Amino acid sequence: MEYDLDDNIDNASTRELFIGQEFSSRSEFRSFVSNVAIERNFSCSASSMNNSRRIIYTCDQPNCSWRVYARSIGNGNIVKISTLESRHSCFSALTIGRHRLASAAWIKSRIIDIIRDNQSYSAAQIVKDIYREHRVHVTYSKAWRAREMSLAEINVSYVEAYGSLEEYGFRILETNPGSRFFLKTVENNSFQRVYICFKACIDGFLRGCLPVISTDATFLSSKYQGILFIACAHDPNYQLYPIAYAVAEGENNDSWAWF
């Protein structure tokens, strides 16, 4: 499968720093500044003033005027740019093809959405794609580390998502009365199956669809795999109309009967 890195991240040509710009966290700000520096082929470094709520980046070339000041606002994690000098008074002296800011964390920010869809995205392919998109050479080991960091972050979010299923079901039944939600767990409260059918889908089927229900199942390719079951009907325009779906541990007589 072909991936275009810029399909996943905002368009590079629109990436600019400006006064008043806000970021949801310090790490998002750092990643953004790294992107700007890598694309414009200069190097910069961060420092904090005695007040740790401020981050300052300056160009690494001696006496260069380029700098950006950002500070935390409110009580949350939001960071806002307060001062910016976007012109350089230096001549960039970077070695073409290398960049100090092309760290594993920066690579992670470029690839994590691709890995979310394809966990077999390899370190070798990451090296090639980063060079193709940014003309920056990163080592295989750095690409590997970025891949591991992405997988760790994605898998933590999977665990949190499975852990929230009971609450999700409660909210569905509370806000969509008449819906059906069944969660089946095994020992240690581990996930086995979930079944979801919204009341609006039941009503739409009874009022507007042809009285035939089709069922099918397909394999899921994410970390925990499993099977997606779906029950569909046809609306009066002969378009597919979803009625209910379920996720189970595998396709067998027991899981089909349960669905």
User: Which stretches of the chain bind Zn ion, using CB under 5 A?
Assistant: 59, 61, 64, 66, 88, 90
For CA atoms 151, 132, 24, 72, the dihedral sign is positive
Minimum distance from CB of 56 to Zn ion (Å)?
14
Residue 90 vs 217, nearer CB to Zn ion: 90
User: DSSP assignment, residue 240?
Assistant: E
Short-list 40, 38, 57, CA closest to 49 = 57
Cα–Cα distance, 60 to 46 (Å, whole number): 10
| Distance between CA atoms of residues 219 and 238, nearest Å | 25
- Smaller CB distance to Zn ion: residue 64 or 233? 64
C-alpha distances (whole Å) from 179 to each of 85, 172, 186, 206, 217 are: 56, 7, 24, 14, 21
In terms of CB distance, is 78 or 90 closer to Zn ion?
Answer: 90
The residue among 66 and 259 lying less far from Zn ion, judged by its C-beta, is 66
Pick 88 or 137: Cβ nearer Zn ion: 88
**Structural contact between residues 38 and 110, judged by C-beta atoms closer than 8 angstroms:** no
Residue type, 237: N
Q: Closest separation between CB of residue 30 and Zn ion, Å?
A: 18
**Residue 176's Cα: distance from chain center in Å?**
28
Our CB check for Zn ion shows the closer of 46 and 78 to be 46
CB of 54 to Zn ion, least distance (A): 20
Q: Least distance to Zn ion from the beta carbon of 59, Å?
A: 3
**What is the nearest approach in angstroms of Zn ion to the Cβ of residue 66?**
4
The separation between the first and the last C-alpha atoms of the chain, rounded to the nearest angstrom, is 32
Task: Tell the smallest beta-carbon distance from residue 143 to Zn ion (Å).
Answer: 28
